Chains A and B, each alone.
Chain A
Amino acid sequence: MATKAFQKIYTKITSINKATCSLKATGVGNDELATVNGKLAQVVKIMGDDITLQVFQGTEGIPTDAEVVFLGKAPSLKVSDQLAGRFFNAFGQPIDGGPEIEGTDVEIGGPSVNPVRRKQPSELIATGIAGIDLNNTLVSGQKIPFFADPDQPYNQVMANVALRAKADKIILGGMGLTNDDYLYFKNVFNNAGVLDRIVSFVNTTENPPVERLLIPDMALTAAEYFAVEKNQKVLVLLTDMTSYADALAIVSNRMDQIPSKDSMPGSLYSDLAKIYEKAVQFPTGGSITIIAVTTLSGGDITHAVPDNTGYITEGQLYLRRDSDIGKVIVDPFRSLSRLKQLVAGKKTREDHPQVMNAAVRLYADAANAKTKLENGFDLTNYDERCLSFAKDYSNDLLAIDVNIDTTQMLDVAWGLFAKYFKPEEVNIKQELVEKYWKK
C-alpha cells in the first residue's frame, strides 16, 4: 500500500506486545487501518492520544521507531465481477499471480440486513446426501456448520455439497487451512470446471493466525456483492471456524480481556453471530447460504466454540464414523437442520417429515438394543429387527457416499420399514401408511 504524500508518519512506538503496539497519535478513527513498517494493523483502542493497534501479522521484529501511517479507513475489499475465479489472501490481495481487482471499495464487516427486509428461506438445496437431504434438509439463506473431529473428511463433504448445490457463486473462506487442503479445494473446483464460479480468500497455516480474523468478513463482503448487486445465489464455505475463534482468543488474551469459558472472549457469541447472520434470503432473489466447519476436540460439543456456534447457526451436521458399516455417516441424532420444516413435505413429498422422524426413532431404538447387547442381555425379536434396520439405514441412507434424490430416499426408507417392521411399530399417520407402505 503506497503512502500518500499528505499522510503523517509517526515513528515513536511506546509499547509492544505479541499482538498489539501502542503509540501517541491524533485524529485517528476507531477501527481504522494503519501500517506499521508496512505491516497492516487496525485501531482497537483509543484513550486520548494513546492509540492501540492490532498488528495482523504479529509484532515480531517491530522496532520502537517503526514507521506508522494511518490509512483513514477500515479494512475494505474492492468488489466487482472480476472477483470471480480469483484467489486472495486475508487482506483481499491476489495470491494467484493475477492482476489487482478493479471495482468499488467496500468496507468489510458492513451493516446488518433489516429483519423486516428479509425473505423467509424456502428454496431447497439438494446435495444427494441422504443424511443431509432426508434428515437435515438445507435451505438457501441458511447457515449451518459441520461439527467434526479433525480427522473426519469434512472438507471433502463440503466440497461435494458445494458442487452439487447449484449455486451461482461459491465463496471459499479458508482459515488455518493446511496447504494440502487449500490445494485440494483448488483441484476439485478446477477439475469440476467451475473455477469461474469460485472466489477464494485463504489463510493457510503458513500465514499468521491473527490475519484469519479478516477472512469471514472478506468472503461475506464478496458474497453480499454478488447476492445484492447481482441477485445471485451465493454459497459461502467457511473452514475452519474453530481456527477463527482461536485467533479471537489470541487477540483478546493479549489485550488482557477477562476470558470467559475455555479462554474464549466474553463476546464470542456476538462475534460469531455477526458472521453467521450474514446468511440471508433477499427479497430480490439473491441469497447467501453459509456452510461452515467447526472442528471439535475429542468430539466435545460443550466446548465454547461449538456450543456458541450451535446456538447461532440453524442446525449442525455431525460427521461420525460408523464402525458397523465402516463408513462415515451424517449422525442422525446430533445433526439438525432448523429450516428443514420450511421445505420438507412442502418442496418434497408429503410423507417426508414423518418418514424422517420415524426412521430416526427406530434408529434410536436400535441404539438402545445395542446398549443392551453390550451389557450382555438377551435381545428381543424387536431389538434384533431394529439392529438390522439400523445397519441398512446407515449404509443405504446415512453414509456420505449416498447420492440419490429425495423421493428415492423416501422410497428406500419405506422399503426398510416394510422389510423389518409392522406399520404400528413405525408410528406414522395412517393415511400415509396406506399410501406408501411397501406391500
Chain B
Amino acid sequence: MATKGKVKGIISNLVTIEVDGPVAQNEICYITLGEQRLMAEVLKVTGDTVSVQVFESTRGLKVGNDVEFTGHMLEVILGPGLLSRKYDGLQNDLDKLTGIFLKRGEYNFPLDKEQKWAFKPLAKAGDQVEAASWLGEVDENHQPHKIMVPFVMEGHYTVKTIAPAGEYTIEETIAVLTDADGNEYNITMIQKWPVKKAINVHVEKPRPFKLLETGVRTIDTVNPITEGGTGFIPGPFGTGKTVLQHAISKQAEADVVIIAACGERANEVVETFVEFPELEDPHTGRKLMERTIIIANTSNMPVAAREASVYTAMTISEYYRAMGLRVLLMADSTSRWAQALREMSNRMEELPGQDAFPMDLSAIIGAFYSRAGYVYLKNGKTGSITFIGTVSPAGGNLKEPVTEGTKKAARCFYALEQNRADRKRYPAVNPIDSYSKYLEYPEFEEYISERISPDWTKKVNDMKTLLQRGKEVQEQINILGDDGVPVDYHETFWKSEVIDFVILQQDAFDAIDAVCPLERQEFMLNTVMDICRHDYNFDNFVDVSEYFKRVINICKQMNYSEFHSEQFEKYVGELNNLLAERQIAEA
C-alpha cells in the first residue's frame, strides 16, 4: 500500500505532512488540491512528520489536503526521442503542454509512444549481459542511440531472445533477459533512473586528455577544455557568460549537447529555440537542434524544479555517455541552483553557512561536477560528458561560496572581467587569471602536439608570457607616463594588444569570426606570434601605437574574412608589406 498523508503546515513551497506509513528521503509525493495534483519531494523526515518541497505554487493549499506518496525518487524517463526536445526541470515536454501559460499540476510523458524506431539488434540470444550492455540500436537524428540493459538491473543476465531488425515503438519488448534463477525480464527501449544518483556503468574514468574543440580562440588556444573535462565561467552580470556558453554549444565538437537553462531569462531560451533549428552544426552540417536537448527552468518557473533541472540534465547526459557518445552539458547558471538550495534550507531553518547558503554547498557542487568525465565503457568504447557551468557571483565578487565551491570542483576557469566587458573586449575572459588545468597534464600535451604541432604548447606559453609582460609594462606606463619609459616598452605593450585584439577578442555575432576552427586558430597564432617575435624600428612611442593599430586593423579584417579566401589572402599580403616596413630582419 502506498503511504498517504495530510497537509499540516505551509510556508511558501515548504509543506509539512503527517504520514501514515513509511517514506524515503527524496521520495516523490503528490498533494491533491481540488482537481490538481502538485508534485513534491521529501526533504526531511521526523517521526511521522515529513517536510516536502513542492515543485509548484502552493497558493490555496489548506491544512488537511490529501497527499499520496509514490515510492520512488524523482526520476527521468530515458529512451530514443529525447533529442530536439524542450523539457522543463521535471522533464515535462513543454511543447505538449496546452495553452500560453503554464498550468500548475500539468505533467506529461516526455517521449513519443506512437513513433516507430528502426531497431537493429547488436546482441544475440545467449549473450551474457549486465546493466548498460548494448542490446541494439536505433537511429535517433543520425546518432546511433543504443538500447541498453536498464541501469537499475544488478548482476548478470543472459539474452533469451532479441527482436529482429524492424520497426518498434518504445514500449514494445525488444529483448527478453533471464537471470541466474531463470526469472525473465522483458526489456523495452525505455528505462527510468532517479536523477540524484549518478549512473556509474563504466569501468574506468581516466583523466581527460583530448581537446574539445569549441571554435572559441580564448578557450581552444589559450585555455583549452577537454572531452570529459569540466569548466566554469564566473562573471558579473552582463559580461558575456550566456553568449560564451551559447557559442560553445553551437560550435563544439560534440555528438549531443544538453543545455540546462537554470533560473535564467526565458527570452534567452527562446533565442535557442529560434536559432538552433536553423543553424548548422559546423562539424556535421546538420541542424543544431537535432543534437540538442534543452532543459528550461527559467527564473519565473518554480524554484524547487530549478534545483531538479540540473540533475535532470546530468542524468540524460549520463545516459548518452553510456552509449559511447560525446556529450556536452552546459548549465546557466549554477548560482541559481545554489540559490534554490539556499531558499529551501532557510525555510527549513537549517543552520546557515556563509552568505546563508547551506553548510554543505561545496560538497553538493563537488558531487555534481564529479558526474562529468571521460569514461571507458565495459565494452571498451569511450564516452564523455564535458560540463561547463556559469556562476553569477553576488556583486561580481569571486570570493563568495558558489564561486569558491566551484573552483574546487572544475578544472577550467574562465573568469569574465567587468573591465574587459566595459571596453567591449569580448569575450571578456581575463587571459591571465583564467586557467586550464589540462595544460598541466602530460597526456594532454602529448595529444595536442600530435593534433596541432609539437611546438604548440611552447607558442601558447610564449603568448601568455607576453600578455603578462604587456600588462606589467602598461602599469609602468600608467605610472611613469608615455615618455617616462623606453620606446621598447611601448613595443611590448602593443604586441600584447595585438594578441588581445586578434586572438583573445572574437565577435560572437559576426557570421565568420564567431567560429574559428582549430586550423585557423593555428594559423592566426602563428601569424601573431611571428609579429611578436620580431623587433621593429621606431623613433618614438607615437609611431609604435600608430603602427600597431594598423597591424591590428589588418589582422581583424582577416578575422572577418573567410579563411584563405581571396580577400583573406589580400589582407595577408597587406600585413606582410606593413611588417616589412619596420621589421628588423632576424640576425
Q: Judge if A241 is at the interface, Cβ distance under 8 Å.
A: no
Q: Which of B96-104, B283-291, B521-529 touches A?
A: B96-104
Q: Which of A178-186, A232-240, A336-344, A397-405 touches B?
A: A336-344
Q: What A residues does B10 contact at CB under 8 A?
A: 30, 45-46
Q: Judge if A92 is at the interface, Cβ distance under 8 Å.
A: no
B104 shortest CB reach to chain A, Å:
7
Q: What B residues does A274 contact at CB under 8 A?
A: 299-300
**Which of A117, A270, A302, A427 is the one whose CB lies under 8 Å from B397?**
A302
Cα of A272 to Cα of B101 in the assembled complex, Å:
19
Q: What A residues does B339 contact at CB under 8 A?
A: 266, 269-270
**Which of B238, B298, B423, B484 is the one whose CB lies under 8 Å from A277?**
B298
Q: Judge if A273 is at the interface, Cβ distance under 8 Å.
A: yes
Given A28-B62, A380-B542, A424-B553, CB of A116 within 8 Å of CB of B273: yes
A409 shortest CB reach to chain B, Å:
18
Flag if B299 contacts A277 (CB, 8 Å): yes
Cα of A174 to Cα of B237 in the assembled complex, Å:
26
Q: Judge if B217 is at the interface, Cβ distance under 8 Å.
A: no
**Which of A31, A277, A338, A381 is the one whose CB lies under 8 Å from B266?**
A277
Q: What A residues does B481 contact at CB under 8 A?
A: 372, 375-378
Flag if B62 contacts A314 (CB, 8 Å): no
Cα of A309 to Cα of B548 in the assembled complex, Å:
40
Q: What A residues does B267 contact at CB under 8 A?
A: 118, 120-121, 141-142, 279, 314, 339
Q: Judge if B301 is at the interface, Cβ distance under 8 Å.
A: yes
A339 shortest CB reach to chain B, Å:
7
Flag if B99 contacts A114 (CB, 8 Å): yes
Cβ proximity bits A20-32 to B, threshold 8 Å, 1 near / 0 not: 0000001111111
Q: Which of A163-171, A208-216, A254-262, A412-420 touches B?
A: A254-262
Q: In A329-360, which residues have CB < 8 Å from any B CB?
A: 333-334, 336, 338-339, 341, 353, 357, 360
Q: Which of B53-61, B130-138, B224-232 touches A?
A: B53-61
Cα of A111 to Cα of B8 in the assembled complex, Å:
25
Chain B residue with the shortest CB-CB distance to A259:
B356
Q: Which of B388-396, B430-438, B463-471 touches A?
A: B388-396
Cβ proximity bits B527-553 to A, threshold 8 Å, 1 near / 0 not: 000000000000001100110011011
Flag if A111 contacts B103 (CB, 8 Å): yes
Chain B residue with the shortest CB-CB distance to A284:
B100
Given A361-B423, A380-B542, CB of A111 within 8 Å of CB of B557: no
Cα of A212 to Cα of B271 in the assembled complex, Å:
33
Flag if B299 contacts A269 (CB, 8 Å): yes
Cβ proximity bits B476-517 to A, threshold 8 Å, 1 near / 0 not: 001001111000000000000000000000000100000000
Q: Judge if B9 is at the interface, Cβ distance under 8 Å.
A: yes
Flag if A112 contacts B300 (CB, 8 Å): yes
Q: What A residues does B60 contact at CB under 8 A?
A: 29-32, 74
Flag if A113 contacts B266 (CB, 8 Å): yes
Q: In A126-144, which residues have CB < 8 Å from any B CB?
A: 141-142
Q: Judge if B336 is at the interface, Cβ distance under 8 Å.
A: yes
**Which of A48, A141, A257, A273 is the one whose CB lies under 8 Å from B300?**
A273
Q: What A residues does B509 contact at CB under 8 A?
A: 341, 353
Chain B residue with the shortest CB-CB distance to A371:
B478
Flag if B86 contacts A115 (CB, 8 Å): yes
Cα of A115 to Cα of B67 in the assembled complex, Å:
29
**Which of A282, A304, A310 is the one whose CB lies under 8 Å from B238?**
A310
Cα of A267 to Cα of B11 in the assembled complex, Å:
13
Cα of A234 to Cα of B377 in the assembled complex, Å:
55
Q: Judge if B167 is at the interface, Cβ distance under 8 Å.
A: no
**Which of A117, A119, A307, A357 is the one whose CB lies under 8 Å from B395?**
A307
Chain A residue with the shortest CB-CB distance to B97:
A114
Q: Judge if A228 is at the interface, Cβ distance under 8 Å.
A: yes
B201 shortest CB reach to chain A, Å:
32
Interface size on A, residues (CB 8 A): 82
Flag if A360 contacts B100 (CB, 8 Å): no
Chain B residue with the shortest CB-CB distance to A139:
B267
Flag if A26 contacts B63 (CB, 8 Å): yes
Given A115-B298, A261-B394, A266-B343, CB of A277 within 8 Å of CB of B265: yes
Q: What A residues does B58 contact at CB under 8 A?
A: 30-31
Flag if A120 contacts B274 (CB, 8 Å): yes
Given A115-B94, A333-B422, CB of A29 within 8 Å of CB of B298: no
Given A257-B346, A378-B481, A430-B557, CB of A277 within 8 Å of CB of B395: no
B511 shortest CB reach to chain A, Å:
12
Q: What A residues does B541 contact at CB under 8 A?
A: 380
Q: Judge if A19 is at the interface, Cβ distance under 8 Å.
A: no
Q: In B31-87, which residues have CB < 8 Å from any A CB?
A: 57-63, 86
Flag if B299 contacts A312 (CB, 8 Å): yes
Q: What B residues does A371 contact at CB under 8 A?
A: 478
Flag if A380 contacts B97 (CB, 8 Å): no
Flag if A361 contacts B424 (CB, 8 Å): yes
**Which of B102, B237, B303, B355 is the one whose CB lies under 8 Å from A311?**
B237
Q: What B residues does A192 contact at CB under 8 A?
A: none
Flag if B346 contacts A266 (CB, 8 Å): yes
Q: In A306-334, which residues have CB < 8 Å from any B CB?
A: 307-308, 310-312, 314-316, 333-334
Cα of A103 to Cα of B560 in the assembled complex, Å:
57
B562 shortest CB reach to chain A, Å:
13
Flag if A304 contacts B97 (CB, 8 Å): no
A168 shortest CB reach to chain B, Å:
19
Chain B residue with the shortest CB-CB distance to A28:
B62
**Which of A118, A259, A273, A424 is the one whose CB lies under 8 Å from B270?**
A118
Q: What A residues does B266 contact at CB under 8 A?
A: 112-113, 115, 118, 277, 280
Chain A residue with the shortest CB-CB distance to B265:
A314
B124 shortest CB reach to chain A, Å:
42
Q: What A residues does B395 contact at CB under 8 A?
A: 261, 302-304, 307
A436 shortest CB reach to chain B, Å:
16
A414 shortest CB reach to chain B, Å:
17
Flag if B59 contacts A111 (CB, 8 Å): no
Q: Judge if A434 is at the interface, Cβ distance under 8 Å.
A: no
Flag if B100 contacts A282 (CB, 8 Å): yes
Chain A residue with the shortest CB-CB distance to B237:
A310
Flag if B100 contacts A113 (CB, 8 Å): yes
Cα of A380 to Cα of B394 in the assembled complex, Å:
39
Flag if B273 contacts A48 (CB, 8 Å): no
Q: Judge if A63 is at the interface, Cβ distance under 8 Å.
A: no
Q: Judge if B411 is at the interface, Cβ distance under 8 Å.
A: no
Cα of A295 to Cα of B94 in the assembled complex, Å:
37
Flag if B59 contacts A357 (CB, 8 Å): no
Flag if B356 contacts A424 (CB, 8 Å): no
Q: Which of B61, B423, B509 has the most CB of A within 10 A?
A: B423
Flag if A115 contacts B273 (CB, 8 Å): yes
**Which of B11, B346, B397, B483 is the one whose CB lies under 8 Å from A258?**
B346
Q: What A residues does B238 contact at CB under 8 A?
A: 310, 315-316, 336, 338
Given A114-B94, A314-B265, CB of A260 within 8 Å of CB of B298: no
Q: Judge if A429 is at the interface, Cβ distance under 8 Å.
A: yes
Q: In B299-317, which residues have CB < 8 Å from any A CB?
A: 299-301, 303
Given contacts A44-B11, A334-B422, A430-B557, list 6 more A-B pairs with CB under 8 A. A259-B356, A302-B397, A314-B267, A361-B423, A372-B482, A381-B542
7 residue pairs from A and B, CB less than 8 Å apart? A31-B58, A114-B101, A116-B95, A118-B270, A228-B100, A282-B100, A372-B478
A positions within 8 Å CB-CB of B: 26-32, 44-49, 74, 107, 110-121, 141-142, 228, 257-261, 266-267, 269-270, 273-274, 277-280, 282, 302-304, 307-308, 310-312, 314-316, 333-334, 336, 338-339, 341, 353, 357, 360-361, 364, 371-372, 375-378, 380-382, 424-425, 427, 429-430
B positions within 8 Å CB-CB of A: 8-11, 16, 57-63, 86, 94-95, 97, 99-104, 236-238, 263, 265-267, 269-271, 273-274, 296, 298-301, 303, 333, 336, 339, 342-343, 346, 352, 355-356, 392, 394-397, 422-424, 478, 481-484, 509, 541-542, 545-546, 549-550, 552-553, 556-557, 560
A-B complex: 8 closest residue pairs judged by Cβ atoms: A273-B299, A302-B395, A277-B300, A310-B237, A377-B481, A47-B9, A31-B59, A112-B300
